[in-house]
Amino acid sequence: MSTTHHHSLRKRLADLRGPGTAPRPLDARALAALAANPGCRRRALMDAAGVDKGAVAEVLGAPARFGQSRFAFSRGHAFEARVKRDGCAELLRLLGAADPGVPAEVPDLAAPGPEGRAARTRLALAEAPAGSWTLLDHPLLALEVAGSLAYLEPDAVAVAPDGRWTVVEIKSFPILDGGADAQKVGAAARQAAVYVLALDAVEPGRARPDVLLVCPRDFSNLPTAEWVDVRKQLAVTGRQLTRLTRIEDIAATLPEGTTFDLRYAADGSTPTRSRIELSQAVDAVPAAYAPECLSTCELAFHCRDRSRADGCVESLGRGLRGELGTLTTVDAVLSAAHGEAGDPADPAVAALRRAAALRAEALAAPVPGAGVPAQQAGEGAGERAGDAACR
Amino acid sequence: MSLMNTLARAEAVAAGRAVPAATVRHRHLAERPLVLVPLTTAGEAGAPLGAMVGTDRDAPVLLVVPQPLDRELRFGFFAGLAAAVLPLMAAYEDDVEVEPATRNREESEVCADAPQIVVPNSAALEYVRLLGRSTRFLRTVEDPDAPHPVPVPVPLLGRWLTHYGERARTPGSALLVAMTELLTRHWATGQSSMEDQHLGALLGWIDPPPGLDGAVAAERAQTDRAPDGLLLSPPAGPATDPLFDNRVLAPAMARYDAARTDGADAAEVAAAEADVRRLVGSQLRPTWDDVWHGLDLLRALPEGARVADRWKRDRWSFTGHRDRLRAGEPPQPKRDGAVAAAQKLAGRETAQARVSAQEALDDPLTMAVRRLAGEAFAGEVTGVEMTYSEGRRPMPRPLLTVRTPDLPQAEPGTKAYRAVPGAKSAQSAEIVSVAPEVRSDGTPYDGGPAAHLVVVRLTGGMGSGRVPKEGSVPEAGARVDFTLFEHDPRGGPGLPEPEQTPWTHGGPPDAGVPPGTPPPADAPDPVTAEDYL
C-alpha cells in the first residue's frame, strides 16, 4: 500500500472523528468485541476512526449502561501492583521460573507517543538475552486491523530463558477453589488472544499459545495463576479480524462530508451537534445489531432502537435466524405463522404454522385441574418498515 | 431457543406485551417466602455491600456495610443476615410429618414445609452460593485460636446458604429460586433472553404500567435516569450501577472513613453511616418491590398438578440437611469428591427428566412444545383392532389407529405412554407404524399430508385378564394423547458402594481408614496480614 494511500485514509478517519478531536485508542477489549461481531461495519469504522462512541450515544439519547466502578478500578490496580512489586518476583514464581530469587530484566519502555513505545517494545523483545527472564511491563504492541493500525497494551509479556514469549493477563476476579467465573475467563482469554496475535505480527511463532492468567486466590489478595490455552480464541479472532471489511471500503460508501464530529463548544465538553444530524451520519453506516452488543458496545441502545423499528428478528436473539431461514422480520414470521403469507413448502414456514396451530390449541384448552383461562395474546402489529433493513 | 418460544416472542412484539409461555405455575411458591436482594462491592469477591431481606414486603430488613473493606463490618453484616435467615430455618425444622415405610425405605420423618428463598436473578442466586462458601468455614468466637472470629451463627448460615445454593442446581427445585427465571419460564417477552435477565425490563414487558407499551416500559427500566444521573430502576444486583458507585457511593464512603479516622465525634460517624445506609437502601428498594411484584404475578397462575410432588422432594432435601447438621457433620467440602459429584449429577439428570415430563403433563402449552418436537402426539382414535399376545396366556394387545396432526419422531417399536384418568401410572404402548394420511384412492394429498396415521399397540394398564379392564382401551372417536417420554422417569441403576468404586472414579476408601470415617474437613481459608478479607 502506498504512503499516500495510508495518508488519505488517515485523513478520512480524522474527518469522520472531527477536526481537533483526539482519537480513542483501539484496545484489545474493543478488538475482541469487534471480532465477536465481524459483520458490524458501524462498529468497525467508528472504532478505527477512534470515535468516542460513548459520547455519540449520549448525544443520540441512548447512552450505554456499562462502565467501570471506581471500586473495581482501584482493586484492579492494587492487585496488579501487588503482583508486580519487588521487580515482579511474584510474577516470576507464577511463571514457573527455576529460581525466582534471580531478578528478571525489566527494561524501560517509556517513550513519547505510541509509535515510540511500540518501537521500544520491539527492541526490548529483540534484545532480551537468552538464558534469563525478561519481563516487559505494559509493553505496547501494534496490530494492523482492517487496514488501520491499533496499539495494544497487555499487562505484561514475559520472555523466558528459552526465548518464548508469554502473554500475562492480570485480572482482579478471584479463582475460587480452583475455578473462576467462566464468562470472565472467556473474556480474558479473548482479550489475551488479541495480544498473542499482535506478538505474532512481530515474529510469528515466538509467542506461546497459552497465556498466564493471574488472579487473586479465593477471598484473599494473594496472587495465583492458571495457564489458559487460547488457541481456539486465536483461531476465531484471527479469522474474524481478517474478515473485517476494509475500513477504506466502508468509508468509501459513505456520502461525502459524513462525520461523527460532536462539534464541542469552546469549553471542550459540551457537544453542539444536533441529534438528528448525528443520527443520520451514524445510520449511514450499516450495523449488525444483536442483543450481545448491549454488553460490549456503547452504541447498542441506538442500534437496538433501529433494529426494533425495522422489526428485525435479530433483536430477539442472534440465534433465531438459523431456524427462520428467509423470514427476517417479526412481521414476516407472524404472517407466515398465521397463514397470511409465505410458501408452505418452505420448512421454516411449515414449522411456524404448525407451532402457531399448536400454540392456539393449547391456549384454548382447559388447564388440567384448573379453571382459569390463560391470557390471550393480542394481535395488531404496529407499523413496521419492510425487510430491506434486516439482512 | 425452541421455535415455539420464537413464535411467542414474535407475538409479544406484536402485542406490545409479554404473552404466556405456560398456562400453569410450574414452581411451588411459599405462602411467606423469604425475599433476599443482595448487593456486592464491585471488584471484591465476598465483600457484600448490603442486602434487603425478609418475609414481610412492607418491612424489609436493611443490612448495609458502610465500608466493605472493613472485616469487622462485614462480619456484622453476616451476623445480621444470620439473624434474618436462621430463625426461619429453625421454625420449620421441628414441624414434621411421618412418612410411612415403603418397600425401599423405613418409616421416616419429613418436614411438613420448608422455607423458600427468592432472589431477583440468577446472578444473585450465584451470589448466595458465594456467601455460603465465604462464611461456612469461618472460625467463631468459640475457637480460641481464631485470629478474626465471627459471631457464632455465621458458619451455620453459610452451611444453609450453601445447601440452598446447591439445591438450586437441581432442575425443578424451588427451595431457592431466581425471580427472572420464574418469570421467563411463564411468560415470553418481545425482547431477547439476554435482556430478560434484567428484572425491571422483564416486568415492564409482563405487566407494563397503564398506558405504556411493554417495549417502552422495559426500556424505561433499563435506561431512564433521574436528573442526578442515577438509574430510576437500579440493576437488580448483586452488581451495582458503576455510575452510582462513582458519583454517590464512593464519596459517601469516603466521608464515613474520614469521620471514623477523625475519631471522637460519634454523631458524625453515625450521620455518615446513615448516609451510606440511605444510599444503599435506595438501590435495593426498587428491586425488593420488583421481586414482590413478580410474586404477585406468579400467584395469579394456577399451580401445576405435579408441583406439590416436586416440592415434597425439596422438603426431603431440607430435612436431609437438617439431619446432617444435627448429626454434627462438618461443613460441605470446597470441592465434591468423585463419588459425591457422580451422585449429584445422576440425581440432577433424573430431576431434569422428571421436571420435563411433569411440566408437559401439567401444561398443554408445554406439551405443545413437545408435540412440535415430535416427542408426543395427540389425535383421534379412528380404529381399534383387538389382538392378543402369543404365549400360554394370551393377553390383550389392542392396536389403535390414531389420526394426528403431529409428526411423532419414532421408529416402529418405540415405547409410548398415555395418561389414563384415575390410573396411578401411565399406560404403556409401542409404536407400530407412522404413515402420512392418503386419499381414499391411495394417492397423496397435494401440498403434503394434513395428518399422520399412527398405529400403536397398547401393552399395559389393561388389567390381568383376557378382557381388558373397562375404560382402559379407548374407543373409536376418542381423543388420546401419547408421549414418547416416560411420565415418571426414574434414575438409572444405582451407583456402586464406595468400597466398589474403581480408582478411576475416586477409588475405594484408603485401607487404613476404618469404613464410615468421614473425609477430613476442609480447613478454613487462610487469613493473611495484607488482605482485607
Blockwise average pLDDT, block size 10, chain A, 391 residues: 62 83 80 81 87 88 80 89 86 83 82 88 88 89 80 91 92 89 90 92 90 90 91 87 78 86 81 87 90 89 91 88 85 90 85 92 71 35 43 55
C-alpha cell at A222: 494473594
The shortest CB-CB distance from A221 to any of B4, B371, B531 is to: B531
What class is the B374-483 domain? mainly beta
Note whether B223 contacts A65, CB cutoff 8 Å: yes
B236 touches chain A (CB under 8 A): no
Q: In terms of domains, do A77 and A146 share one?
A: yes
d(CA A142, CA A122): 10
Q: Are B188 and B8 in contact (CB under 8 A)?
A: yes
Q: Name the phi and psi angles at A300, rounded to 5.
A: -55, -40
How many CB atoms sit inside 10 A of residue A81's CB? 10
Pairing of strands A210-216, A165-170: parallel
* Closest of B374, B484, B481 to residue B420, by C-alpha: B481
Number of domains in chain A: 2
> Which residue ranges in chain B fall short of pLDDT 70?
1, 263-264, 446-449, 506-521, 526-533
Note whether A377 contacts B532, CB cutoff 8 Å: no
pTM: 0.89
Note whether B447 contacts A344, CB cutoff 8 Å: yes
Note whether A372 contacts B362, CB cutoff 8 Å: no
Q: Taking CB atoms and an 8 Å cut-off, how many pairs form between chains A and B?
A: 202
Q: Are B501 and B508 in contact (CB under 8 A)?
A: yes
B148 touches chain A (CB under 8 A): no
Note whether A359 contacts B3, CB cutoff 8 Å: no
C-alpha cell at A174: 478471584
Instruction: Return the H-helix or E-strand segment holding B221.
Output: helix B214-223
Note whether B45 contacts A173, CB cutoff 8 Å: yes
d(CA B370, CA B341): 30
Question: Would you say residue A171 lies in a domain?
Answer: yes
Residue partners of B430: CB distance under 8 A and separation at least 6: B413, B414, B415, B416, B456, B457, B459
How many CB atoms sit inside 10 A of residue A171's CB? 22
Domain boundary among A196, A218, A241: A241
Note whether B45 contacts A351, CB cutoff 8 Å: no
Question: Would you say residue A28 lies in a domain?
Answer: yes
A205, A383, B222 from A137: Cα distances, Å: 21, 56, 39
Q: In terms of domains, do A112 and A194 share one?
A: yes
The shortest CB-CB distance from A294 to any of B194, B364, B447 is to: B194
Q: In terms of domains, do A204 and A160 share one?
A: yes
Q: In terms of domains, do A110 and A210 share one?
A: yes
Closest chain A residue to the Cα of B42, Cα to Cα: A72
- The minimum CA-CA distance between A334 and chain B, rounded to whole Å, is 7
- Tens digit of pLDDT for each residue in A312-335? 998 998 888 888 888 889 999 999
Tell me which chain A residues have a C-beta less than 8 angstroms from the C-beta of B45: 173-174, 176, 216, 218-219
- The minimum CA-CA distance between B150 and chain A, rounded to whole Å, is 16
B386 touches chain A (CB under 8 A): no
Tell me which chain B residues have a C-beta less than 8 angstroms from the C-beta of A313: 6, 10
Residue partners of B512: CB distance under 8 A and separation at least 6: none
d(CA A49, CA A25): 9
Domain boundary among A263, A288, A315: A315
C-alpha cell at A138: 505494559
* Chain B contact probe: residue of A73, A359, A363, A383 with most B CBs at under 10 A: A359
Tell me which chain B residues have a C-beta less than 8 angstroms from the C-beta of A315: 191-192
Query: Looking at chain B from residue 18 to 47, which residues have their Cβ under 8 Å from any Cβ of chain A?
Result: 19-20, 23-24, 41-46
Supply the DSSP symbol for B249: I
Tell me which chain B residues have a C-beta less than 8 angstroms from the C-beta of A71: 41-44, 245, 250
**CA angle, residues B322, B327, B333, in degrees to nearest 5:** 80
Q: Are A390 and A311 in contact (CB under 8 A)?
A: yes
Q: In terms of domains, do A203 and A295 share one?
A: no
A55, B210, B219, B241, B431 from B225: Cα distances, Å: 16, 20, 11, 11, 60
Tell me which chain B residues have a C-beta less than 8 angstroms from the C-beta of A356: 7
Domain boundary among A264, A283, A315: A315
Q: In terms of domains, do A202 and A97 share one?
A: yes
Query: Looking at chain B from residue 156 to 175, which residues have their Cβ under 8 Å from any Cβ of chain A?
Result: none
User: The domain containing residue A184 runs over which residues?
Assistant: 70-241
Omega of the bond leading into B449 within 30 degrees of 0 (cis): no
Q: In terms of domains, do A209 and A262 share one?
A: no
* Chain B contact probe: residue of A316, A318, A324 with most B CBs at under 10 A: A316
Give the pLDDT of residue B464: 83
- Within chain B, all domains assigned CATH 2.40.30 are found at 374-483
Tell me which chain B residues have a C-beta less than 8 angstroms from the C-beta of A365: 23, 364
Tell me which chain B residues have a C-beta less than 8 angstroms from the C-beta of A66: 242
The shortest CB-CB distance from B11 to any of A69, A72, A334 is to: A334
C-alpha cell at B430: 409401542
Instruction: Return the H-helix or E-strand segment holding B404.
Output: strand B399-404
Tell me which chain B residues have a C-beta less than 8 angstroms from the C-beta of A172: 43
Note whether A67 contacts B243, CB cutoff 8 Å: yes
First to last CA, chain A: 32
d(CA B50, CA B43): 15
Rg (CA), chain A: 25
Note whether A356 contacts B7, CB cutoff 8 Å: yes
d(CA B166, CA B348): 11
Give the pLDDT of residue B375: 93
Give the pLDDT of residue A240: 78
* Alpha helices, H only, A37-153: 41-48, 53-60, 70-95, 113-127
Give the pLDDT of residue B519: 57
- Tens digit of pLDDT for each residue in A233-243? 898 888 877 77
Pairing of strands A223-229, B19-20: unpaired
3-state SS class at A232: helix
ipTM for the assembly: 0.86
* Closest of B328, B416, B342 to residue B379, by C-alpha: B416
Residue for grid cell 484496545: A27
B409 touches chain A (CB under 8 A): no
Q: In terms of domains, do A77 and A131 share one?
A: yes
Instruction: Return the H-helix or E-strand segment holding B98.
Output: strand B96-99
DSSP A191-231: HHHHHHHHHHHHSTT-B-SEEEEEEEBTTSS-EEEEEEE-H
Question: Would you say residue A340 lies in a domain?
Answer: no
Give the pLDDT of residue A383: 34
Q: In terms of domains, do A208 and A226 share one?
A: yes
- Tens digit of pLDDT for each residue in B130-179? 999 998 988 888 877 777 888 888 899 999 999 999 999 999 999 999 99
Instruction: Return the H-helix or E-strand segment holding B347.
Output: helix B338-362
- CA A386, A390, B3, B4 dihedral sign is negative
Q: In terms of domains, do A105 and A223 share one?
A: yes
The shortest CB-CB distance from A358 to any of B245, B372, B447 is to: B372
AA identity, residue A270? T
Question: Would you say residue A352 lies in a domain?
Answer: no
Note whether A355 contacts B372, CB cutoff 8 Å: yes
Note whether B364 contacts A172, CB cutoff 8 Å: no
Q: In terms of domains, do A79 and A58 share one?
A: no
Tell me which chain A residues have a C-beta less than 8 angstroms from the C-beta of B371: 358
Closest chain A residue to the Cα of B240, Cα to Cα: A69
Residue partners of A198: CB distance under 8 A and separation at least 6: A141, A142, A143, A152
Question: Would you say residue A55 lies in a domain?
Answer: yes
C-alpha cell at B149: 472470629
Tell me which chain B residues have a C-beta less than 8 angstroms from the C-beta of A329: none
Q: In terms of domains, do A182 and A63 share one?
A: no
d(CA B240, CA A62): 20
